[in-house]
Amino acid sequence: MKAYIVFSGTGPILILTTYSELENPRLLEKFKHKGIVKFIAYEVPLSTVKRIYGVPFEVIAADLESTEDLRVLDFNGHHIFSRFSLVDLGEPIKYGD
């Protein structure tokens, strides 16, 4: 499982996914279905996400154990920005034109 902060036209979201790559065509199709056709994303350590989100993380992670999918853990941009330091983010993953 991986966690990403995804910046799109509607603002940042924090997702958990069982896809090994963010550019997986099936995952990109799910993004497209949610209206996300271009984005900049940063992988964040699962241990950090687990520490910050606690029980909600555990519930969503358990839901993902038996499927290849994604779940939005947080869609509140203010909350995401207050919990993660931009300085700690690695290289961006860019998708779209």
| Sequence spans of domains, the chain | 2-95
Contact 3, 16 (CB under 8 A): yes
Q: Decide if pLDDT at 97 tops 90.
A: no
Q: How far apart are CA 53 and CA 96, in angstroms?
A: 29
- The model's pLDDT over 34-61, given as tens digits with 9 standing for 90+, comes to 899 999 999 999 999 999 999 999 999 9
Determine the residue type at 57: F
Confidence label for 87 from pLDDT (cuts 50, 70 and 90): confident
pTM confidence score: 0.92
The pLDDT of 65-76, averaged and rounded, is 94
pLDDT tens for each residue of 5-45:
999 998 999 999 999 999 999 999 999 998 999 999 999 99
Helices (H) and strands (E) in the chain, counts: 4, 5
